[in-house]
Structure 1
Amino acid sequence: MTAWQRSVRVTGLVLGLALAGCGGSEDGESPADERLGGVAQPDTEIEAASSEPAPEVAPFDEAVSVGIDARLRSDRRLMVEGTTNLPEATRLQVLVERELSGVRWQERTVVEAGGGFAAGPFGPGSGLPDGGYRITVNMPPASVQPSEVRARLGEEGQHLRGPLVQPSRHGLGQVISASQRFLVGSEPRHTTDQVEVMEVE
C-alpha cells in the first residue's frame, strides 16, 4: 500500500468518526432526548401550581346602596364624600354638573376600608356660583375593576342588584349609578326634588 493510499484511508476514518460524533440519530433526536427516552418531560411542579383553583370568594349578595354627602369649602369649591356597601377597592367616578350651564367636573376614586369614598374639590378656582348642582356617583363596568372586586361582583357585574343597578351603555354588563341634587346659595329655587342646601363654611 502506497503512502498516498494510507493517507486517504486515515482521512476517511477521521471524517467518519467526526460525523458519527456530531450527528444525532436518524429521526433527529438529540442525545439529551435519547437520555429522557425521546420524550420531553413536563415540569410537573409548575403545572401543579398553575392548576390550583383560585380561593373561593363569596359573591356580592345584597342590594347596592350609595349615600352621597357634600360640603362647600371656604373657597366655594365642593367636596364630595359618601358611603357604600360595594366591596373595598371598587373604582368609582364622581361627577358634579351645574344644572344651569351643563359644565361638569369629574374625578375617579375608590371605596376605602369601611365603605367610605371621597373626591374633590370640584369647581373653578373662583368658586361655584349659586344654583343647582347634580352629583352623580357611577361604578364603571366590572371589566375595569380590580380582580378581587370582579370576584365578588361577577365578571359582568351579574351579582349586582337593587334600584341603582342598570345595564352598561356599552354592553359591558351591569353598572351602578346614584345621584343627588344639591343647591348652593342662601335662596334656593322652588323644587320638588330631594335637595340639600349648602352654605359657605
Structure 2
Amino acid sequence: MVVKAAAFFNLSEEEQEAVLKEVQAKADAEEQRKMEEAEKAKKAAEAKAAPGPVYAEMDVQMELSADRKASVSGTSNLPAGTELLISFSLTDNSYHTYTKTVIEEDGTFTTEQFPNHGTALAYGTYLLEVISGVANIQPPEVKAILGENYGNVKGPLVQGGAAGRILKLEKNIMIN
C-alpha cells in the first residue's frame, strides 16, 4: 500500500494503523535480510581466512531397529559440507554395504537404514568405517579449510592412503 504523506492524514485511524504496520513489517523484513547477509558474509570470510590446524574429531553410533536394520549417526568438528563415505561390513566379509552422507551445519551426519535385501542383519561382528576420501574430492569451501591433501588437519583420524591422505574412523559393532 503506497500512500503519500499528505494523503496519510486523510485516512481513517484504522487505515493509518494498517499503513504503519505494513511499513514496520517491511522494515523488519529488510533488517532480517541484512542480518542474514551479514552472517553469510561472516561465514564466507571465516572460510577464506587462513585456517589454523583442525584437530579432527568424530563420534559415531549405530542404531539398530527392532527388526535388526541399522542406520548410523554421528558428530564431527569437520566443516559443514564435508563428504563422507560410511562403510558397514561383517568382519567375515559375507556382507558389505556403503552409503554417502554429508556433515550438516550443526556438525551432525546421518544415514538411512543400510539395505540387506529387506531382511534383518545377521548376528555377528561388523566393521563400521567413516571415511572422508581424498581432499581433492571435497567441495572447494571444505578443501579451503582442511587444506590441500588435508594439510591443515591433525589427529588420529588422519591416515595415509595410496592416492593421498584421508580421514578415517573405524569402530567394531556387535549385533547379537
Contact 1:60 1:153 in 2 (8 A): no
Where in structure 2 are the equivalents of 1:56-135 lying within 5 Å? 56-59=48-51, 61-124=53-116, 125-135=118-128
Q: Secondary structure at the match of 1:128?
A: coil
Quote how far apart the aligned CAs of 1:168 are.
2.4
Quote how far apart the aligned CAs of 1:123 are.
3.9
Unmatched tracts of structure 2, length 5 or more? 1-43
Structure 1 88/65 Cα, relative in aligned 2: closer, same or farther at 3 Å?
same
Task: Name the amino acid aligned to 1:177.
Answer: K
Structure 1 60/127 Cα, relative in aligned 2: closer, same or farther at 3 Å?
farther
Query: What's the counterpart of residue 167 of structure 1?
Result: 160
If the length of structure 1 is used for normalisation, what is the TM-score? 0.61
Distance 1:168 1:61 in 2: 20
Larger radius of gyration, structure 1 or 2?
1
Q: Deviations over 1:17-43 (max 9, x none)?
A: xxxxxxxxxxxxxxxxxxxxxxxxxxx
The reply to whether residue 150 of structure 1 matches residue 143 of structure 2 is yes
The reply to whether residue 177 of structure 1 matches residue 168 of structure 2 is yes
Question: In angstroms, what is the RMSD of aligned CA positions?
Answer: 1.7
Unmatched tracts of structure 1, length 5 or more? 1-53, 186-201
Q: Secondary structure at the match of 1:183?
A: strand
Higher helix share: 2
Contact 2:71 2:112 in 1 (8 A): yes
Quote how far apart the aligned CAs of 1:60 are.
5.0
Quote how far apart the aligned CAs of 1:102 are.
4.1
Q: Secondary structure at the match of 1:149?
A: helix
Structure 1 61/84 Cα, relative in aligned 2: closer, same or farther at 3 Å?
same
Q: Secondary structure at the match of 2:136?
A: helix
Task: Name the amino acid aligned to 2:124.
Answer: G
Task: Name the amino acid aligned to 2:175.
Answer: V
Runs of 4+ deviating beyond 6 Å: none
The alignment of Structure 1 onto Structure 2 pairs a total of residues equal to 130
Q: Secondary structure at the match of 1:148?
A: helix
Quote how far apart the aligned CAs of 1:77 are.
1.1
Q: Deviations over 1:86-143 (max 9, x none)?
A: 0000000000011133421100100001110011311411110111111100001111
Distance 1:126 1:78 in 2: 11
Distance 1:109 1:131 in 2: 25
Distance 1:96 1:72 in 2: 13
Percent of residue pairs identical? 30
Distance 2:161 2:121 in 1: 31
Where in structure 2 are the equivalents of 1:3-82 lying within 5 Å? 56-59=48-51, 61-82=53-74
If the length of structure 2 is used for normalisation, what is the TM-score? 0.69
